[in-house]
Every structure is written in structure tokens, then in C-alpha cells.
Amino acid sequence: MLALVFTAFAAPATAQKKNKKNDQPSPEVPSDSKAMLPESDSQAVDRAVGESLGYWQIGDIDSLHKYYSNDVVMVSGACEPPVIGWDNFMKAYQAQRDSVTGGRIDRSNTYTKVTGNSAWATYQFVYTAMADSKVVQFHGHTTLVLNKQGDHWVIVLNHSSIVDSQSASPAVPTESAPPPGRS
């Protein structure tokens, strides 16, 4: 049930804007008041995507649910019927989580579009995990549709597609593996 791994999202890296002259925070807004600036909807969507992935990776179901609608529709990268509803997603998520160890997903090239109380985010991902004593890796694309409920963005549709996958040979502990090109 590795298909559900493609429903996740990596937390974005954030960087503080710096003044090139002296590597100090930008003078437009004092650094101690930046936290008080309102977050744009686009930033809030990106944060929701990143935080949901964090909870997905650590298995914190209660926190993860804050980012998903009860009637969410999940379309995986495998050619299988969509999973409809939070309860069905949780059953599939638990089964998938039980079948792998060390699952990690990273996202890149995220683009977000907000129109009123609806938004979508699309990005590329790389998922790596251990399954059946082998390292597996999947590359693909995910598109999320989100709705704003109050001041909170929730995912209502999660569609992922696998572009490439590979299964490596049995995992070897890194400390005992010989350097590349040597036996």
C-alpha cells in the first residue's frame, strides 16, 4: 500500500531576508516586529502543506487531521480507486505506515495559487523508505486543493502521480558499506 505515500508533502525551507551590505535583517521592518505581520493566504497554504507533511511523517494523526477535510478525496500514484473520507484515509495510511520504515518525503518546485477561499498547490516529491528489507524511492508530482474554513486551510483533494520509481538492493548499514568504486 505504498501508493498513499504520494499523498504527503515536505516542509518548506524558510529563509530570513538579509541586507546584502552587512548581513543584518532587512531594514524595511524591524526584525522584532516581523512576527506581528499578517500572514498572506499563499503563505498560510504553504505552511499548511509543510506542517501536514511533518505530522504525516511522524504519525501524529490528531495533528494531521487538522489539515484534512473529513470528506477528503485521495488519489494515489498507483492506478487504484480513490480513497474517500478521513476515516478511510486513516485506515489506508495506517496499513501503509505499518509496511515501511524510515519513510521520508521531500518536496520541491512548489507553486501555490489562491482565489478567495479556495487554493491549490502543486509540487514535485521524492519519497524514500525501507520496504521488504529494500530501499524504495518514488519521484512524482502532487496537486492539492484546499478550502479556507474560518482562518484555517484544509486539504479537500490530494492527487499524486508517480513519474519514476526504483527499488534498490537490500539495504546495507552505512558504516559498513565500502566507498563507491571499491570492493
Judge contact between 127 and 137, C-beta under 8 A.
Answer: yes
What cell numbers appear for 177 in the block? 558499506
Judge contact between 86 and 72, C-beta under 8 A.
Answer: yes
The confidence score (pLDDT) of residue 80 equals: 87
Which of the following CATH numbers is that of domain 2-12+37-170: 3.30.390.30, 3.20.20.70, 3.60.70.12, 3.10.450.50?
3.10.450.50
Distance separating alpha carbons of residues 165 and 24, to the nearest angstrom: 43
- pLDDT surpassing 90 at residue 159: yes
Dihedral pair phi/psi, residue 101, rounded to 5°: -130, 150
| 19 vs 129: which has the higher pLDDT | 129
Strand 134-149 versus strand 101-115 pairing type: unpaired
- pLDDT surpassing 70 at residue 1: no
The confidence score (pLDDT) of residue 77 equals: 77
Residue-wise pLDDT for 30-75, tens only, equals: 455 455 677 899 999 999 999 999 999 889 999 999 999 999 999 9
| Dihedral sign from CA coordinates of 63, 145, 156, 73 | negative
- pLDDT surpassing 70 at residue 2: no
Residue-wise pLDDT for 143-157, tens only, equals: 999 999 998 999 999
| Dihedral sign from CA coordinates of 109, 55, 167, 77 | negative
Judge contact between 142 and 169, C-beta under 8 A.
Answer: no
